[in-house]
Amino acid sequence: MACILAIAEQDGGKLKKVAHEVASEAVRQAGALGARVIGVTIGAGAAAAAAALGDCGVTEAVALEGGTVASDSGEAYAAALAAVAREKGATVVLLGATSFARDLLGRLGVLLDSSPAADCIALAAAGGKLTARRPVYAGKALQTVAFGGAVAIASLRPNVFAAARGKGASCTVTSVAPAAGPAKQGRRIERVAVGGGKIELTEAECIVAGGRGLKTPETFARLIEPLAAALNAAVGASRAVVDAGWRPHGEQVGQTGKTVAPKLYFACGISGAIQHLAGMRTSKTIVAINKDKEAPIFKVADYGIVGDVEEVLPILTTAVKGLRGT
């Protein structure tokens, strides 16, 4: 029987939000492809995280923990995941389009002799084969691709695929400590947490992003952060703001930053250069606030406010707090 491998990203024994989305989509596609789904978690805490996949309807999982993957090496991770794919006879491998996936996608493609499709926003099955839809040319066009090799590998854009929670299935977990890995591999020597306590940008359902129109880093913090806090949203930034040193690179949205797809995206003082649009145009609802009525951002916005952010954002923040009673 064909097999879909759902690689579920986790941290310290807890599944990431995108892991639920990947597992749920794997279960949805399994019926059309006549395949079974096997979840895979990797790294410290993998076994505890794998057990939680039953919430998405996954009944079988492999937890790769200890052994050669204890070094957190990308090479070791890819080798261990490829070994599971070969052992289980996987015809489809799915994972989230995160920095974790970007490190693995190309390696898995080489090891499994496949050409992966990155950052997919839709999957479809026909005739027992999988096709994927993904943005190309900085988001200006959509491309539908088929897979010519024996294994189809695709990374799924976070917040695009619905997570089916609450299925309450029992997931049987097999723990494996990979004993063999590549002769030469890197190893993690330090882990630095960025934005501790803040909402992860790629997993946020609401993002408040600021651009150069805020004029100074002090204005950015004074106007953007209170609105984000009122909305329980993540803070994002344009490349111009990050290049100027106002905000850390981890908050950058765009072609050279992070690709996001929240339910609600506020673009404040952002003109809408194509590089920025490439990272956020698949947001469900886009609200643009800019005093230039000709700003390109208004062409993709669902709602637009032509006005000075200095005047609009404090009013908006007060209104949100009033509605939430905070």
Is 194 among the domain residues? no
Q: From CA 31, how far away is CA 247, in angstroms rounded?
A: 45
Is 190 among the domain residues? no
Q: What is the pLDDT of residue 182?
A: 75
Given a contact cutoff of 8 angstroms between Cβ atoms, the answer to whether 314 and 289 are in contact is no
Same domain, 205 and 258: yes
How far is residue 277 from each of residues 90, 271, 280, 301, measured CA to CA in Å? 35, 10, 5, 10
Same domain, 110 and 143: yes
Question: Considering its fold, how many domains does the chain have in total?
Answer: 2
Counting beta carbons within 10 angstroms of the beta carbon of residue 138, is it exposed (0 to 12), middle (13 to 18) or buried (19 or more)? middle
Out of 135, 160, 176, a domain closes at 176
Same domain, 28 and 65: yes
Q: Residue 307 belongs to a domain with what CATH number?
A: 3.40.50.1220
Encode pLDDT of 74-97 as tens digits. 999 999 999 999 999 999 999 999
Residue type, 287: V
Is 193 among the domain residues? no
Q: What is the pLDDT of residue 195?
A: 54
Q: For the chain, which residues score pLDDT lower than 70?
A: 183, 191-197
Same domain, 213 and 123: no
| CB-side neighbour CA atoms (13 Å) of 158 | 25
Extract the tokens encoding 88: 């289980």
Out of 176, 210, 236, a domain closes at 176
Is 184 among the domain residues? no
Is 136 among the domain residues? yes
How far is residue 246 from each of residues 103, 208, 275, 297, 301, measured CA to CA in Å? 27, 15, 19, 21, 25
Is 34 among the domain residues? yes
User: Which residue, 227, 242, 232, is CA-closest to 262?
Assistant: 232
Q: What are phi and psi of 260, to 5 degrees?
A: -130, 160
Given a contact cutoff of 8 angstroms between Cβ atoms, the answer to whether 289 and 313 are in contact is yes
Given a contact cutoff of 8 angstroms between Cβ atoms, the answer to whether 123 and 29 are in contact is yes
Is 295 among the domain residues? yes
Q: What is the pLDDT of residue 189?
A: 74
Same domain, 51 and 172: yes
Distance of CA 63 to the CA centre of its chain: 21
Same domain, 169 and 207: no
Q: Residue 43 belongs to a domain with what CATH number?
A: 3.40.50.620
Given a contact cutoff of 8 angstroms between Cβ atoms, the answer to whether 8 and 53 are in contact is yes
Same domain, 17 and 96: yes
Same domain, 105 and 228: no
SS3 284: coil
Is 100 among the domain residues? yes
Residue 219: give the domain boundaries. 201-324
Encode pLDDT of 179-235 as tens digits. 877 767 777 777 666 554 578 898 899 999 999 999 999 999 999 999 999 999 999
Q: Where are the beta strands (DSSP E) in the chain?
A: 2-7, 10-11, 14-15, 35-42, 60-64, 90-96, 117-120, 122-126, 129-136, 141-146, 152-156, 172-176, 206-210, 234-237, 264-268, 285-290, 303-306
Extract the tokens encoding 231: 């909305």
